[in-house]
């Protein structure tokens, strides 16, 4: 019984050896001396049993791409030899930019449905730069070659220029002949200006309706009060209050000789605003509410004071 097993194993071994003899691969180059940057060809050939399914491009070109630039893959040619084996051939165009010895590695090929595999022999190449003959005289750089301009090259630009001209003429004709012109001179648009007193009261009401300090925005609330007060003073009394400090504003307002009650309302409101904005003072709810009333009172009372002074001046002038 053991003899039969040995005989069967020997038969299968001989079959495998015979099949392996029909599975061969080769890689050849025309010259082992190549120039850097100059393409050269690599001829690949493979012989395999007729019913074999062989990996080709993915197994070959991926390995080569890691060391060379694959410029072209020739058409894969298949044929059958006299022993009914498949013969596959392909020519690859490669280029290298390394100098010195460059090796084309072994390329292993195997079948998909049988344990057959083979490898090509590695090829050692010597890559060198193009030799320059230093004994020859230097030649000047050749000038650019002038090619005649063809009509198909300039035709698109001509069409674009004509299109822009037509559009420009059309716009000019529309403006010149079709667009309606107003009859008579156009009156300038006058913007309605709000008197400083009215604007201050409107802005104060808007600030009160926003309820900033009630929602935790205390600093924004006092910044709004300060801005409204400064704009009112600048517009009503022609003092550059927007660019002044609080002390400078109070000094200018003292020159107007307000009643002390009016002056104190302005001073208290502006001092409290500076404390909240710059000294991080935590004002109480009563102080927040009173600050609005003080600014509003200052606006109304200073305006009445200003009107009364104007009336006095007018009466004095008419009496004289």
pLDDT tens figures, 268-301: 989 999 998 888 888 898 998 899 999 999 999 9
Residue whose C-alpha is closest to residue 45's, from 36, 33, 54:
54
At residue 261, does pLDDT exceed 70? Answer: yes
Cα distances (angstroms) measured from residue 291 to each of 87, 183, 208: 101, 55, 11
Locus of tokens 């012989």: 47
Mean pLDDT of the residues in the chain: 81
User: For residues 45 and 25, is the Cβ–Cβ distance under 8 A?
Assistant: yes
Please report the pLDDT score of residue 59 as a whole number. Answer: 62
Please report the pLDDT score of residue 320 as a whole number. Answer: 55
Report all structural domains of the chain as residue ranges with CATH numbers, in order of start.
Answer: 19-128 (2.60.40.10), 196-310 (no CATH)
Q: Residues 242-271: what's their mean pLDDT?
A: 88
Q: Residue 14 — pLDDT band, cuts 50, 70, 90? A: very low
At residue 228, does pLDDT exceed 90? Answer: yes
Q: What are phi and psi of 72, to 5 degrees?
A: -155, 145
At residue 263, does pLDDT exceed 80? Answer: yes
């Amino acid at each position: 019984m053991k003899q039969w097993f040995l005989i069967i194993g020997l038969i299968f071994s001989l079959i495998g050896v015979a099949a392996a003899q029909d599975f061969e691969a080769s890689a050849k180059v025309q010259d082992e001396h190549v120039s850097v940057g100059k393409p050269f060809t690599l001829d690949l050939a493979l012989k395999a049993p007729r019913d074999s399914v062989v990996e080709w491009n993915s197994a070959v070109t991926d390995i080569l791409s890691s060391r060379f630039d694959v410029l072209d893959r020739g058409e894969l040619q298949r044929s059958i030899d006299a022993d009914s084996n498949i013969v596959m051939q392909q020519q690859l165009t490669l280029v290298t930019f390394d100098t010195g010895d460059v090796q084309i590695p072994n390329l292993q090929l195997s079948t998909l449905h049988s344990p057959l595999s083979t490898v090509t022999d590695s090829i050692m190449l010597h890559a060198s730069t193009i030799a320059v003959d230093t004994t020859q005289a230097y030649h000047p750089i050749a000038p650019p070659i002038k090619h005649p301009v063809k009509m198909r090259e300039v035709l698109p630009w001509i069409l674009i220029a004509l299109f822009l001209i037509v559009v420009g003429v059309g716009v000019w004709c529309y403006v010149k002949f079709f667009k309606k012109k107003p009859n008579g001179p156009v009156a300038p648009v006058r913007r309605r200006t709000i008197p400083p007193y009215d604007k201050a009261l409107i802005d104060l009401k808007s600030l009160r309706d926003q309820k900033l300090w009630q929602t935790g925005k205390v600093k924004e609330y006092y910044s709004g009060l300060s801005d409204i007060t400064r704009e009112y003073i600048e517009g009503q009394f022609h003092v550059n209050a927007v660019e002044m400090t609080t002390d400078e504003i109070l000094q200018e307002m003292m020159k107007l000789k307000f009643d002390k009650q009016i002056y104190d309302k302005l001073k208290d409101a502006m001092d409290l605003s500076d404390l909240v904005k710059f000294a991080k003072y935590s004002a109480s709810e009563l102080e927040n509410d009173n600050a609005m009333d003080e600014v509003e009172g200052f606006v109304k009372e200073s305006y009445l004071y200003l009107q009364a002074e104007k009336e006095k001046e007018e009466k004095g002038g008419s009496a004289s």
